Amino acid sequence: MNTKRQMAVSAAIVVAAAGAVGGYVLFSEPTSVAPLGEHAGHGATGTGSPGAEAPVYLTADAANRIGITYATAEQKALLHEVRALGNVMADERRLATVNPKIEGWVERLHVNFRGAPISRGQPLLEIYSPMIVSAQEELILARRLVEQSSASGTARAADNARELLDSARRRLRYLDFSAAVIDEIERSGTAQRTMTVTSPVNGVVVEKNVVEGMRIMPGMDIYQVADLSRVWVEVDVFEKDFALIRLGQHAVVTFDAYPGDEFQAPVTYVYPTLNAQARTGRVRLELPNPNNRLKPGMYAQVLLHLSTPHEMIVVPRTAVLQTGERSVVFIRRGDGALEPRRVQVGMVSGNEVEIVTGVQSGDVVVSSASFLIDAESNLGASMDAMDAMDAVGSGSAPADPGHTAADPNSPQH
């Protein structure tokens, strides 16, 4: 063996003996390495081209020493987990806004702070308005006319009185008077000075824009009530994962406020737009909220369980040797050789990775110690290249038949 070859093999022995992965080394003893080209069922065999990756031949004992294991490439749908952050929000379908249809003044507040729990029909405030007093007096007058026309008037007068009474009732209903209140006004014959506004839903007061003595106008939002028995969790998902989101997919939600508790939720809506700046899409989950444990504004950690829409070639993640320039998988051939094969890597999920090109379903791949095998393969190719360079430098290369060497004694021209 020439000097360059001896130095290269010696360096490989030192590195392999020192390098370890998970407690395994490539060679147990320096003496177990034969000169390249003389490996007895162990070392790399070169391809004959400089820089090419050579197949690697290993004995069973050598494979056991460095901890080589194998796996079979499978074609299947890849289960993908996506972790994202979310935000608890009130269910917009369970929000109600209180905005009276009249102009008036607030004489009394029954609910006077945000966060107050309320029930459907519970009084919120009392409003004085000349409009509602006038509408009640019209109702009372129409009622009296009906009674008088029925007793002594003509049929036509009675019909007109009943139409006027129906019109007065409708006006009060349009002003949000309940049927019970209208009946009470007719029975008593007395107009109420104030109108009581009640809650339209069960829930919690999330907005309050009114105080006692304040003048209000028609259409003014004075309360917003949220039913928090169910809440939304809106999640921002990166664009690269957004295409995998489907309705009904399962998610696990956790909150810093409740360490150790996991909440199960389905995907109920996928928003049709993306955030152009953050490059994220939004997904909605729905959660039951007994005892109002989940508060709007809470942050959530979300784990989405997704699956690819089609089957793909999948190998263990440890089977792929990745560098800055290439991704390599070692395939076990029928003769036992480990053949390096460049691949294109796709989606990664947990301990599995998609192989877009380079591997077929059923191929047996090396799933551990790949970088040691890669080093052996590159060493074999490098040694063959050095042999070729040594042959040229020693003059053993064949001479060009069309060229005649110059006689050192001949005169120079």
413, part of any domain = no
- Cβ burial 355-388 (10 Å sphere, 16+ → b, else e): beebbeeebebbbbbbebbbbbbbbbbbbbbbbe
Report the C-alpha dihedral over residues 273, 277, 278, 281, rounded to 10 degrees: 0
User: What is the C-alpha to C-alpha distance for residues 365 and 49, in angstroms, rounded to an integer?
Assistant: 25
Q: Are residues 232 and 330 in the same domain?
A: no
Other C-beta atoms lying within 10 Å of the C-beta of residue 105: 15
- Domain with residue 287: its CATH number is 2.40.30.170
Cα 382 to Cα 371: distance, rounded to the nearest angstrom = 16
Q: What percent of the chain has pLDDT over 90?
A: 34
Does 387 reside within a domain?
yes
The CATH number given to whatever domain includes residue 326 is 2.40.420.20
Residue 300 sits in the same domain as residue 375: no
On whether residue 131 sits in a domain, the answer given is yes
Put simply, whether the predicted model's pTM sits higher than 0.75 gets the answer no
Q: What is the pLDDT of residue 175?
A: 87
**Same structural domain, 171 and 112:** yes
Q: In the beta sheet, which residues pair with residue 269?
A: 284
Please check whether residue 242 lies inside any domain of the structure.
Answer: yes
Are residue 205 and residue 281 in the same domain, yes or no?
no
Condensed to tens digits (0 to 9), the pLDDT of residues 104-126 reads 999 999 999 999 999 999 999 99
Q: With cut-offs at 50, 70 and 90, classify the pLDDT of residue 4.
A: very low
Does residue 208 share a domain with residue 131? Answer: yes
Q: For residue range 320-348, what is the model confidence (pLDDT) as tens digits?
A: 888 777 888 888 888 878 888 888 888 77
179 and 117 share one domain: yes
Kindly report, residue by residue over 21-80, the tens digit of the pLDDT. 333 333 333 333 333 333 333 444 433 333 446 777 777 787 777 778 888 888 887 777
Q: Which structural domain range is residue 54 located in? A: 1-68+369-392
pLDDT digit string, tens, across residues 63-89: 777 778 888 888 887 777 788 999 999
Please indicate, yes or no, whether residues 119 and 151 belong to a single structural domain of this protein. yes
- Distance, CA of 31 to CA of 22 (rounded, Å): 23
* 183 is a domain residue: yes
112 and 190 belong to one structural domain: yes
323 is written with which tokens?
């560098």
Q: Within 10 A of 57 (CB to CB), how many other CB atoms are there?
A: 20
Give residues with Cβ within 8 angstroms of 305, minimum separation 6: 79, 80, 81, 249, 250, 251, 252
412 occurs within a structural domain: no
Give the whole-angstrom CA distance, residue 356 versus residue 301: 31
Q: Do 64 and 9 sit in the same domain of this protein?
A: yes
Domain co-membership, 185 together with 252: no
CA 266/CA 249 separation, integer angstroms:
6
d(CA 413, CA 94): 104
pLDDT (tens digit, 9 = 90+) per residue, 165-217?
Answer: 999 999 999 888 888 889 999 999 889 899 899 998 899 999 999 999 999 99
Check: CB of residue 55 under 8 Å from CB of residue 335.
Answer: no
CB atoms within 10 A of CB 228: 22
**Residues 115-157 pLDDT 10s:** 999 999 999 999 999 999 999 999 999 998 888 887 776 788 8
Element holding 88 (H helix, E strand): strand 79-90
> Do 212 and 105 lie in a common domain?
yes
Q: Report residue 122 as tokens.
A: 């519970």
Q: Let me know if residue 35 belongs to a domain.
A: yes
Q: Work out how many domains the chain is built from and give that number.
A: 4
| Residue 317 or residue 282, greater confidence | 282
Give the residue from 220, 254, 269 where a domain finishes: 220
Domain end among 220, 255, 283:
220
Same domain, 104 and 215: yes
Residue 409 counted as domain residue: no
Boundary residue ending a domain (265, 285, 307): 307
Determine the residue type at 301. Answer: Q
285 has a pLDDT exceeding 70: yes
Q: How many residues does the chain have?
A: 413
CA distance 290 to 192: 40
